[in-house]
Structure formats: structure tokens, C-alpha cells
Structure 1
């Protein structure tokens, strides 16, 4: 997008076309106006429109421009935080409520894809969290036990079963989560946009919100060439926020993440790795992730930005890593490369803000946007529709809190990933 092949890479190459939309060029009214065309905003627009609500969505660029169109495509359940730590961080009421909601989030994603016939390469065979060494296996054993006591369909696999599924002997075991899966993330975002339009929502692209004012009990959002007057505002711009709610960007620390996609593997090589098409990531602090797309490309990623010296460092590291993990497919060329920014909160959990009366927004997905974003969009729609009271929302409403030395931390993450990858996989 924006003539940058490193913004969305493979996903832009292979996604169905976006629905035709235009810039807002007039003054309009609506019951609800949504800011941001990622998973949260599109899910909210779809659920509101299906309920007969007059809703307008304003996207600054194109649908899926932010994290929604750049991520790995893992439909994960929960967050990075251990299940038992949710109540410790949020209290027992909110902690267990959020855990149950996000644990079931992948089922909502599947349901929307099925109901609206969204073509996005959905795979339902689960994900594999891969253990690096004994410490990694110990961590996964505890994580699996905490999910299992809540009835989740997760299981701990030994090294032999992990090798059979992955096609690599590099791991001490894995946690299989059958709630989860993979999809083509930009295609999913565009599919949600199309479904929302079909349901009656009015979607505008290239329509960044420049100003927000309260006038006579209504909210007025101004863009470069138009404005929207509405009773409710959903702020769904997440880590790519700017304009009136730029504080959402500022309260999160950017963690860069890149992906490289190989050319489609020959059919015989596709039978050697990830035959079940599970999405994978490992337990390293600077983690690696990999999965297959529908055409048989290996999508391989890690922390880091493909810019400056990072481009050559991360690509060389990825080639060495693939050679170690999958020696049977070494030397397959890369076809696409891209990267984006993950917004991280201090406790790796999302947040709910009330910016003004009838102005709400979730943020802070910490790299887990597909399922939580879809779920939170639905929850906000149900709250506006009067089906979920404020006290029954999955998170307490808090004020934005800016992290200390954010820019220093962001530089550290980007440069630290380069240092780690420059030395990594050489022995």
C-alpha cells in the first residue's frame, strides 16, 4: 500500500481486492461513527449494521492498513499473559471474564468467516506453541495446565509428536491449541469490510479524522473534506492512531515485527513440513514464527524492522534459521518481505478507555489482534445497542497512561533485534 511493497508484502499480493469506497466529501449524520478500519472497527460496523444501526466508519488509509493487514495471521486464543495471571492483573471479576471472552474469540472469527463467506484462507487445525529446550517445555506445560483446568481444548505434545507435525526436530515439545488457526489477515479485513457494507454500513477510506468536538450533545468528527455528526464514537485506530486520539499510539511501545515469504514450495516439500497447516511460534524471548499459506509458501518472521541495516541482517538470519529448522527445504528463495509495528502495553494486556461521554475504544492488543479485535468490536456494538451494560464490559475503564522513555524503549527493541539476529544461528 502507498507504493510500499514492504508494508503488506505477501498479503497484498494474494488478497482479494478491497471493496470500492471513497473519501468522505460531505457532511453526514449517523447514530455511530467508528474511527479505524481494522478488525475492531470493521467488526463493530458489521455487528451494528446487522442490528439496523446507522453507522459510518472512517479509515485514514485503506481497510487493514495498520496491524490488521501486516500480521502473521495466527488466530490465537487469549493473550501472551498466562491464564492464571489475568485475575492477578485485573481482579477476579474482570480477569476471568476477559479470559473466557478471548479464549472463545477464535470461534467468533470462524463464525463470521463462515456466515459471510469471507475468502481468507482459513485453516482450522490449531496452532503449535513450540518449546525451545527444557525451560520452554516447562513454560508450556504450565500454560497448558492452566488452560485445561478451564476446559480449553489444548494439549501438551512431546518432542516426537511435535517433530511429526512440524517436520523439524528442533523443539522439545509443543502446546497444541485447537481453538486457534491461521488465515490471510488482509483478506479477512477486506472481507469484514465487504460484509459491513452489505449490511448497510457506510465506509469511507482516505478519510483521516483531524478534529473531534462536542456540539449540542452530539460528537462532530472533521476530516479533510467532510464531517460526521453522531451520538456515539468508537475509537478503533489502535497502535496506528493519530489525530484527536493519538494518545493511544503514545501509550503503547512499538515492537517491530517482520515476515518473509518463500516462493511456493514444490509439492513434495510441502509434504515434509507443516502438513496440518498449523501456525507456529516458539518460546524464545526474541521469538520466531512460521506458517504455510494456501499456495504452499513458508511465511517466516521475527522481531525486527526491514529498514536500514536491519533489512540485510534480518533476512540473513532468517535464511540461517530456516536452514537449521528445515534443512529439507533450505535455499528456497524469498518472494515477499514486509514488516509492521506491534503496540505493547506495560502488562501485555489490552485496555478500555472512555475518552468522553459515548466515546469508547479498546486498544493494546500486544500482537494478538485478530481474535481480540474482532471480539472487542462486537462487544462495543452490543454495548451501544444496550445489550451489554458498562459494568459488564470485559475490562475496567481506565485513563490512558503514557510509558516512560517510550522512544528509548522502541529504539532498544529495534536495535536489540538486529544485534541478536546478527549473531544468531551462526553455530
Structure 2
């Protein structure tokens, strides 16, 4: 089993050949970060005639934008009533409404720029793994349905036909959602941005952002960009201490394991509608297939650097639990990505200084949230109006005890997975 990201290797959108920045530029807006947020911002700005220069410290994609599960999910991780409890009624309902429409924004970009990313639009399935999970799904369903979301509870034989396992008897189908190859989606966004005149430079890390006079200056090892506005779109992959985004999240990880392509007969028994799925476990397991019929399992935690026996043992345990009909599965590759968590489980959007915009804390919902935040940033920059953003631009206090939070999460994930491998947990 090799350590490599499946999405990069199977992307229909080919890698872009881009150079690093080795000169001085002037643009209306400079964007730091070539993931989904940065590229969506660039596209929506360029569509409005704004000149944009974007830098990425590695290739595109590098971080979570190309390494996630590929679920085009609606809403935040937590249910709507919990969002209202945390944020208040006005902001909570705003976030639920705008992010509820985020999958449609993703699919609109895919259609507009003919992005080849194996997109499916048949929804996602949230799977109740036990009686408590069934109650949780019933609660989520009632909250979403009351807000007009096209959701449905499927049960028993219909649930078996939709998922392919007898272990699940109830699931929540959200018809707004779907799946993509996330690396292909990100590469397609970059291609679209280039076609609109956006200047993109890879292998170009930002080394600082200053404002010596009226404009901002983004410095790089061999160049710099002068711009009236700067968007910091580095999210979970913010590493530099000078970048204040780093103060507003604590990092977590997510690992995935992909099988070799299954036979058509076996593959089509599992999620025949091609939905992506995840369960209600305390430490969830995600399940989906790719365009070639591979089974892809994932869960919270760091897989990189783990012994292969640990990763393989976990994957075997989950596969045998849910899909024993597959028999022995050959696991082809594994990879991990980083998540930006916040204590309140919601994103943070702020303007550190006039014209310096920042965002972080997608908490595992990067494809849709990054896309919609990019559109909202562009509207704010061009109209001085933040109403298209899922939350208003406001000040936030830095996250406290970041290292302890990350350690606690990772230790808990590891303990849980060990329990699964030892058959103490199911």
C-alpha cells in the first residue's frame, strides 16, 4: 500500500505548468493561497473586472483542497439549531441559509467552466450506526426540513439498497449535495482563473505582508506584489508565525484509504447512487466510491507516518463491518490532509486591518465553504458588502491552548481507532 493521494493521480484535470514569482507586480487584489478559497475569490473578482495576482507556496493543489473526501456538503458540520445556539438566531440562520446553497454554487462553477472532476449530484447520505445515531438523524432531519431543505429519511430495505450494508437501517439523504474529485475541482478552478486573466504563481511562499503607505505589499523570496487589498486564504496550511490566521484555529487531520478498483458487480452493490456517505460514530468513518469503482474509507486522525499495519487493520475492520460481501480487499493507497478546527465548530471571517481579509475554521467542510467564501470575499471587495458571506466580518479572539487541543483530538482519535482494530468498538 503506497502513501499517495488518489485524487491527484486520477484527476481528469491535468496539472498546470506554472512558474514562481520573480518580479514585482501591481494588482488590485493579491491572494495568498491557491486552494479552493483563494481560487474562488480570484475567479469571482476577475469576472467583475478586478485584476488579481495569486501566489501558492507549493503546486496546485497542495493542501486540503486536493486531499479531502470530496463531499460537496450543504451547511456546517453541526445541525442548524446548534448553530443558532452558538452564534445567535440572526447569524446562525444566515450561515445555515447561505451554506445550504453552497453545493449549487460549486456545481455552477463546474458547469460554467466545464471542470472535469467526476462530479455527482445525487446527494450525500448520513448513516446512523446505532440507535443513538438514529435519534440524531431524526433531529437533524426535522431541523433541516423546517428550513425547507430537500432532505429525506430512508429506512430498512430502502436504506440497504442505497448503501449496500445491513449494518445501517436509517440514513439521512440530502439531495442538495454530491461528490467531486477534489484535486480535479481545484485544478479546474485554477484553469478557469487563468482563462480570466488571473496571474497565478506556484512554489512562491509569502514571506510577509506590510503596508508601508496606502497599498499593501506581499513579499516573496524573489518578488513582491503591490495591491490595495489582500486575501489570506491559507486556512489549515498556515505555517508562518507572521501570518495571524495561524492564531485562529488548531490543526487536526483526516486520513483515507483507497482500494484497488472493485469488479462492477461488487462496486455497484455499494452506494449504487454514487452518493458520498459518513456515519454517526463519535469518530466518524466516511465511505464513498470513485469513478473507477474503488472503495474509499476515511476517518479523523493522522495517517501519515503510521505503521501500514495500523492503517490496513483499521480499513479491514471498517470494510468487514459494513461490507463483508467484498471478502478480502486489496488496499492500494493511503493519504492524509489537515483540517482547521475551531472550538465553536464554525468558521471565522475577519479583516485584520482595512483591506486585509482572512478566513479559517472550515472544520471539514472546505469544498463548499471555501467556494462560497470566495464569492463572498469578491462581493465584499467590489461592493463593500459582506452579505454574501456565511458570517459577517468581525473581530475574533485567538484560539487558546492550540497545541493541547490538537494533541487531545489526535490522542482521542488514535484511542478510538485502536479500539476498533481490537474489536472493542464497532
For the superposition of Structure 1 and Structure 2, which TM-score range results when normalised by the shorter chain? over 0.9
| Aligned twin of 2:25 | 28
| Aligned twin of 2:73 | 76
Is 1:289 aligned to residue 277 of structure 2? no
Is 1:227 aligned to residue 224 of structure 2? yes
Deviations 1:280-316 (CA, angstroms, capped at 9, x unpaired): 0000111100100000001111122124445432321
Worse-matched range after superposition: 292-301 or 311-320: 311-320
Shift of 1:198: 0.3
| Aligned twin of 1:338 | 335
* Distance change (3 Å), C-alpha of 1:62 and 1:332: same
Query: Partners of 1:78 and 1:391 in 2: how far apart?
Result: 17
- Please state whether the residue corresponding to 1:119 is helix, strand or coil: coil
Deviations 1:41-97 (CA, angstroms, capped at 9, x unpaired): 000101111111110011111222111011000000001121122232222222212
| Partner of residue 188 from structure 1, selected from 157, 180, 185 | 185
**C-alpha contact 1:257 1:304 (8 A) present in aligned 2:** yes
Query: Partners of 1:179 and 1:153 in 2: how far apart?
Result: 7
**C-alpha contact 2:235 2:245 (8 A) present in aligned 1:** yes
- Please state whether the residue corresponding to 2:332 is helix, strand or coil: strand
- Please state whether the residue corresponding to 1:398 is helix, strand or coil: coil
Worse-matched range after superposition: 274-283 or 399-408: 399-408
| Aligned twin of 2:299 | 302
- Please state whether the residue corresponding to 2:121 is helix, strand or coil: coil
- Please state whether the residue corresponding to 2:80 is helix, strand or coil: coil
Q: How many residues align?
A: 421
* Distance change (3 Å), C-alpha of 1:154 and 1:60: same
| Aligned twin of 1:145 | 142
| Partner of residue 8 from structure 2, selected from 9, 12, 26 | 12
Shift of 1:172: 3.1
| Aligned twin of 1:413 | 409
| Aligned twin of 1:216 | 213
- Please state whether the residue corresponding to 2:99 is helix, strand or coil: helix
Give the unaligned 5+ runs of structure 1: none
| Aligned twin of 2:82 | 85
Shift of 1:422: 1.9
| Aligned twin of 2:100 | 103
| Aligned twin of 1:353 | 350
Is 1:158 aligned to residue 158 of structure 2? no
**C-alpha contact 1:259 1:299 (8 A) present in aligned 2:** yes
Shift of 1:414: 2.2
Calculate the TM-score normalised by the size of structure 2: 0.95
Shift of 1:396: 3.2
Query: Partners of 1:277 and 1:333 in 2: how far apart?
Result: 21
RMSD, matched Cα? 1.6
**C-alpha contact 2:26 2:227 (8 A) present in aligned 1:** yes
* Distance change (3 Å), C-alpha of 1:347 and 1:17: same
* Distance change (3 Å), C-alpha of 1:354 and 1:104: same
Worse-matched range after superposition: 263-272 or 190-199: 263-272
| Partner of residue 63 from structure 1, selected from 60, 64, 70 | 60
**C-alpha contact 1:211 1:244 (8 A) present in aligned 2:** no
Query: Partners of 1:381 and 1:307 in 2: how far apart?
Result: 35
Query: Partners of 1:402 and 1:316 in 2: how far apart?
Result: 38
**C-alpha contact 2:208 2:242 (8 A) present in aligned 1:** no
| Aligned twin of 2:360 | 363
Query: Partners of 1:393 and 1:112 in 2: how far apart?
Result: 17
Is 1:389 aligned to residue 380 of structure 2? no
